[in-house]
Amino acid sequence: MPLVSIIIPMYNAEFFIKEALGSLLGEKHIPIEAIVVNDKSTDNSLGKVISIKDSRIRIVNGEGRGIAACFNMGLSYVRGDIVMRCDADDMYPLGRIKRQVDWLNKHPAFGAICGGFSTIDIRGGDISLLATGDESAEITDELRHGTTRTSYCTFAVKKEVLKTVKGMREYFITAEDIDCQLRIGENCRVWFEATNNYIYRLHQDSITHSQPDIERIFFEKIARQFQEQRSQCGYDALQKGIPPVPPKGGGNVTKSVSKQIQGMLLGNAWQEHAKGNRVVAIKLGFRSLLYTPLSLKHWRSFVAILLKRPERY
């Protein structure tokens, strides 16, 4: 029986799925199964998966009801004691699976462990290591007060915990991962390890960058409101069967991938500049300009990096 089950929700990810699976199947020390839930993809995603000849891959047919239902479908098939998730356009860093499994085995009082994550662009170029915390610590209390610091995809959770919280809730079109993190924190102790545990790909077709702002903001807010309700009453409006009606589709999408990547690269450039790594800072600053080359504001910042002497000098 596999020790670790990794659920991969997949919808039209033909350009990324082989790389995603390759990052998981590189684990040679821990027995795993990669459960690919094909959520009615209309491209060649399924064909790409079938072309990988590895007995650790299992393919499940999703019902096209969204990422929460897709994850739950995969959860119903898991055979491992520990469950992880990897989105079909992202990747795991080498050694992540073994590191988290070893930690959970050594700390049986904890039901889950998570960590930091980094970002890459559509071509796989490194962008930034996200600021999720520089020190390892227990974050159970944070979660029980409605605070999340990292992506759900950095989590390794004992199957018994996920079965207790009943997976992800389909009410959430997005922020299902935030809601799930908060409910996990209510049911077990959670540890945060300050290492890079996930590689998140930034591209315009991801749900984060294609969903209208009004929906994204609504569901993120509701996830935390539900947590507050549970802490006060023992249940939330969704469990009671009277959740607020989500806003209907439409509205603007203001999360521009180009601007987000540019901001991250500029931030890294200034961090390297402060450390005295001027050459690295200039390279990062120049890369940032390639994403929105007509932005006068960012040209000014790049020129400042060129001209300003690092403070340590």
Per-residue pLDDT of the chain (313 residues; tens, 9 = 90+): 569 999 999 999 999 999 999 999 999 999 999 999 999 999 999 999 999 999 999 999 999 999 999 999 999 999 999 999 999 999 999 999 999 999 999 999 999 999 999 988 887 777 777 768 889 999 999 999 999 999 999 999 999 999 999 999 999 999 999 999 999 999 999 999 999 999 999 876 666 655 677 888 999 999 999 999 999 999 999 999 999 999 876 655 555 667 766 677 777 777 777 878 888 778 777 777 777 777 777 778 778 877 776 654 3
Domain boundary residue, one of 174, 189, 210: 210
18 & 147 share domain: yes
- 138 is a domain residue: yes
Domain finish residue from 188, 210, 232:
210
Say whether both 292 and 179 belong to one domain: no
* Whether residue 199 sits in one domain with residue 266: no
Residues 203 and 76 in one domain: yes
Kindly tell me the sign of the dihedral angle through the C-alpha atoms of 287, 288, 293, 299: negative
- The answer to whether residue 233 sits within a structural domain is no
Number of H helices, E strands in the chain: 13, 9
What pLDDT, on a 0 to 100 scale, did the predictor assign at position 81?
97
**Pair 203, 300 in one domain:** no
Give the separation between CA 214 and CA 252, rounded to whole angstroms.
8
The verdict on 179 and 92 lying in the same domain is yes
Q: Residue 101 has what pLDDT? A: 97
Torsion sign across C-alpha atoms 7, 13, 16, 19: positive
In a domain, 96, yes or no: yes
Q: How many domains does the chain have?
A: 2
Predicted local distance difference test score (pLDDT) of residue 219: 95
Looking at the DSSP bridge assignments, the partners of residue 85 are 7
Domain-embedded: residue 107: yes
The answer on 124 and 268 residing in a single domain is no
Range of the domain at 15: 4-210
Q: Give the list of residues 6+ apart from residue 20 with CB closer than 8 angstroms, or none.
A: 8, 13, 86, 87, 88, 89, 90, 91
179 and 39 in a single domain? The answer is yes
Give domain status of residue 92, yes or no: yes
The answer to whether residue 140 is domain-embedded is yes
